[in-house]
C-alpha cells in the first residue's frame, strides 16, 4: 500500500515505502501448513465405506477452509494492506482491508522519534518505532518496522531537512 503519485503535493517526493516486517506472517504460515495437513489427514482417515463419508468430507473441508481464512488469509491481507510511506513532507500510515484508515504526520509536527528492538528483532533487523508528534494522537507506536535503523536514520534526515527549510530532501 503506497501513496499514488497524484496524491503527493507539489515538490514532495517519496523516500521510502514499506510494509511491516515479514515476521508477522510466520504464525499464519505455520497455521496454513498445520490446517492443510490436519484437513488432509482427516479426509484420508474418513472411511470410504461409511454411508455419511461424503458429508463428513464436506464438513471437514468447510471447517478447514474457515480456519485457513481466519488464521492465514485474513492476517496476510492485514499485512499486505498495512503500508508505511516516508516522503519529504510527511510520514503516512495506511491500514485496513475493507475499511481504510490513513494517518499523515507532517514532518514539521514530529517532536521525537525512538526505536526499540528485542534481541530477536535485532537478529531480524526489525523493531518498534515510536513517533511523538504535536497532534491530537500524540504518540504513535509502529511495531515490526523492517530495517528500523535505516528508517530511523532517514526519518531524522528528513526532520533535519524540514527544520532547515529544505522540503525537497536535498
d(CA 37, CA 138): 46
* Residues paired with 67 in a beta bridge: none
Per-residue model confidence (pLDDT) at position 110? 87
Kindly report the pTM of this predicted structure.
0.82
DSSP state for residue 167 in the 8-state scheme: T
d(CA 143, CA 130): 9
Checking DSSP bridges between strand 139-146 and strand 110-116, what pairing results, if any? Answer: unpaired
Per-residue model confidence (pLDDT) at position 170? 47
Per-residue model confidence (pLDDT) at position 169? 45
d(CA 167, CA 47): 70
The answer to whether residues 129 and 145 touch, using CB atoms and an 8 Å cutoff, is yes
Per-residue model confidence (pLDDT) at position 167? 55
Amino acid at each position: 500500500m503506497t501513496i499514488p503519485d497524484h496524491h503527493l503535493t507539489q515538490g514532495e517526493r517519496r523516500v521510502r515505502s514499506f510494509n511491516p516486517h515479514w515476521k508477522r506472517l510466520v504464525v499464519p504460515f505455520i497455521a496454513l501448513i498445520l490446517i492443510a495437513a490436519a484437513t488432509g489427514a482427516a479426509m484420508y482417515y474418513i472411511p470410504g465405506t461409511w454411508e455419511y463419508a461424503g458429508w463428513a468430507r464436506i464438513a471437514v473441508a468447510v471447517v478447514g477452509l474457515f480456519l485457513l481464512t481466519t488464521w492465514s488469509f485474513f492476517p496476510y491481507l492485514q499485512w499486505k494492506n498495512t503500508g508505511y510511506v516516508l516522503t519529504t513532507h510527511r510520514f503516512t500510515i495506511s491500514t485496513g482491508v475493507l475499511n481504510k484508515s490513513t494517518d499523515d504526520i507532517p514532518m514539521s509536527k514530529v517532536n521525537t522519534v525512538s526505536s526499540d528492538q528485542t534481541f530477536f528483532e535485532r537478529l531480524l533487523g526489525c523493531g518498534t518505532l515510536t513517533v511523538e508528534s504535536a497532534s491530537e494522537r500524540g504518540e504513535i507506536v509502529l511495531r515490526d518496522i523492517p530495517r528500523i535503523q535505516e528508517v530511523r536514520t532517514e526519518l531524522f534526515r528528513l526532520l533535519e531537512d524540514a527544520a532547515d527549510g529544505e522540503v525537497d530532501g536535498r
